Amino acid sequence: MLILKMVGFLLGLQCGYTKFPCFLCLWDSRARAQHRIKQDWPVRQKLLPGEKNVQAHPLVVRSKIILPPLHIKLGIMKQFAKALNKDGDCFKYTCTKFPGSMIEKLKAGIFDGPQIRTLINDCDFPNSMNEKESCAWSAFVETVENILGNRKPVNYKGLWPSY
């Protein structure tokens, strides 16, 4: 998440606990009742100092910011692994798949790129999951292959909005 903090700094956003922390949209971090319900938040049009948690004029243009796909992939994988039930079959399968890794690293969700690719290519890994884990894993794999991959899919314009 250090990358997102740096992006916020470069765009002049306020650090720390803020109401509008996203540099792309006007996501309201304090609207707890809306977090899982509302899917589409309004796009942030301008970065004007003094409005919507903007403290200073941006140092860079927002369209010139490119987030590294590997960091996004590692962050999503970390969230997935931390959400797993540590006594469940999926976590146990992960421990047997990577016997050289320390259990503490696996519990913390620390994976590298080759380990993630190994799990994506493993046909037995989704069989060790329950229904919710399987849905989350398939969404992760689709994101990695279609958005964070080295090749653009044929329907790439329909997969993510243009900012």
pLDDT at 3: 67
pLDDT at 27: 78
Low-confidence ranges of the chain (pLDDT < 70): 1-3, 152-153, 155-163
Percent of the chain at pLDDT > 70 equals: 90
What are the angstrom distances between the C-alpha of 36 and each of 62, 63, 106, 109, 141? Answer: 27, 28, 27, 23, 21
CA angle 102, 103, 107 (to 5 degrees): 125
Task: Give tens-digit pLDDT for 32-60.
Answer: 888 778 878 888 888 888 888 888 888 88
Amino acid type, 30: R
Structure tokens given for 9: 């700094």
What are the angstrom distances between the C-alpha of 76 and each of 10, 81, 128, 131? Answer: 23, 9, 19, 19
Domain range summary for the chain, segments of one domain joined by +: 1-67, 69-146
Instruction: For residue 102, give every residue at least 6 positions away whose Cβ sits within 8 Å of its Cβ, in sequence order, or none.
Output: none
pLDDT at 119: 92
Instruction: Return d(Cα 123, Cα 118) in angstroms, integer.
Output: 10
Q: Under a CB-based contact definition with an 8 Å cutoff, are residues 42 and 20 in contact?
A: no
Say whether 54 sits in a helix, a strand or coil: strand
